[in-house]
Amino acid sequence: MITDIDLPTNPGAKTYSIHALADIDLDLSTPGFVQRPACGYNLNQAITWSFTPSPASALLPVAGAPYKLKISSKTNSHAGVFQATLRNAVTYSTQSWNPSISFQVTVVDPCLTTVISPFTIGTVTAPMTYGVITQEAGQTINT
């Protein structure tokens, strides 16, 4: 008889910046959902991800790998704070469990949250120039 299903290790809160050079790849398969005691019974499992609020377009379950979640986006409107939940509907013989873990994922738009420190450009008189300032949005200001 199985007495319980242990949870995967909770990864804790995660923060991801849109346009980051590296995605966040979470793998909760070690140890995964584990039967207790460890009897090696063949369990029927249905592992699913859910997100609140939904849709959470930057949070991508990995096809064929139910314990994996990729956090990735190049779209500014994907920013937000989400609760990610990994659930497992487990059955064995006449027993059933529905264990789950949840954690927060904050997806930030660095174009909205980056603080630009004030700076001063000295006096510019014609025909002098101090160079070019290029903004994130691709607009160029000649100074």
Distance CA 87, CA 131 (A): 55
Q: What is the CATH number of the domain that holds 68?
A: 2.60.40.10
Rounded Cα gap, residues 121 and 92, in angstroms: 71
Query: How many structural domains is the chain composed of?
Result: 1
pLDDT band at 134 (very low <50, low <70, confident <90, very high): low
**Whole-prediction pTM:** 0.78
For tokens 């779209």, what's the residue?
A: 75
CA–CA gap between residue 92 and residue 90 (Å, rounded): 7
Residue 77 DSSP code: G
Per-residue pLDDT tens for 88-122? 999 999 999 999 999 999 999 988 767 777 777 66
**Nearest-angstrom CA–CA distance, 59 and 123:** 48
State the pLDDT at residue 143: 54
What are the tokens at 20?
């980051």
Q: Which residues, 6 or more positions from 122, have their beta carbon under 8 angstroms from its beta carbon?
A: 130
Predicted pLDDT of residue 139? 56
The range of the structural domain enclosing residue 132 comes to: 4-113+120-142
